[in-house]
Amino acid sequence: MMSRASQMNERMNNPMNTAADVLDLAPVVPVVALDDVAHAVPLAEALLRGGIGTIEVTLRTPAGLPAIERIAAEVPDMVAGAGTITEPGQAKRAVDAGARYLVTPGATDRLLDDLDGVGAPYLAGAATASEAMRLAERGATAMKFFPAEPSGGVAYLKAIAGPLPHLRFCPTGGISPETAPAYLALPNVGCVGGSWLAPKDVLAAGDWTKVEQLAREAAALR
C-alpha cells in the first residue's frame, strides 16, 4: 500500500487538468489571508513539512498576489491556489503570479466566462442546489460549497447527494478541526477549506512549528 507521503508526492507531481484534481490535493486546504508577504515562504514550507501540499492564498489583502508569486518561485513543491476571485481580470493576474488553481466565493456568468478564458482549474462557489446545477450545466463536477456552515453544513450536503450524485464539493466557511471529519466522511466531499491551519496570531509570531503541527493533524484527517 502506498504511504501517505508517497500519495501526496504523486498528487503534487501530476499535472492538474480539472477542478476535480484540486479536491484530491489534501483533506484540508488552508485558506489564508496574508498581511505580510514575508510570511508566505516559511508558511508554505511549514505546511509541506506537516504533510499539506496545497494552500489557497486569498486576494483579500494586497499581499495576496505577491505571496503567491513568492511561493511559486521559492517553494515549487507547494501547489498554490488563489482564492476570493470575485471579478474578471483577477484570475489572469493570479495565474500569471503562479497560481495553479482558482477559487471563487460565488459565480456570475461574467466571472465564469473570464475563468473559462484563463484555462486554469477552478472551484466556483455554490450555496444552493440551483447554483450547483447551474455550474454543472457549464460542465463543472467539482465546486466550492460556501459558506458551508451558514448554508446548512453536513446535513445540506447529505440532502443534495441524492439528486446530485455526480457533484463533489470543497466545503469552506465556518469549518473547524472538530467538524471537518463529518464533512470528509461524506461521499460528495473531496476536501474542506479551513483557516485554522494558519491563525493570524500564529503567523504574527512566526510560529512555524505550530503551523507544522496543525498541518500534520489536518493531513491525518483522511
Which residues have a catalytic role annotated? 56, 144
Could you tell me which of 25, 33, 63, 66 has the C-alpha nearest to residue 215? 25
Is the CB of residue 108 less than 8 Å from the CB of residue 91? Answer: no
CB 203 within 8 A of CB 37: no
DSSP assignments along 119-136, one per residue: -S-EE-EE-SHHHHHHHH
State the DSSP string of 29-42.
EEEE--S-GGGHHH
- Alpha carbon distance 177, 179 (integer Å): 6
Return the C-alpha cell found at 185: 466522511
Task: Please answer whether residues 30 and 194 qualify as being in contact, where contact means their C-beta atoms are separated by less than 8 angstroms.
Answer: yes
Q: How far apart are CA 42 and CA 24, in angstroms?
A: 24
Task: Give the end-to-end CA distance of the chain in Å, rounded to a whole number.
Answer: 15
> The C-alpha cell of 52 is what?
499539506
* Number of other residues whose CB lies within 10 A of the CB of residue 177: 14
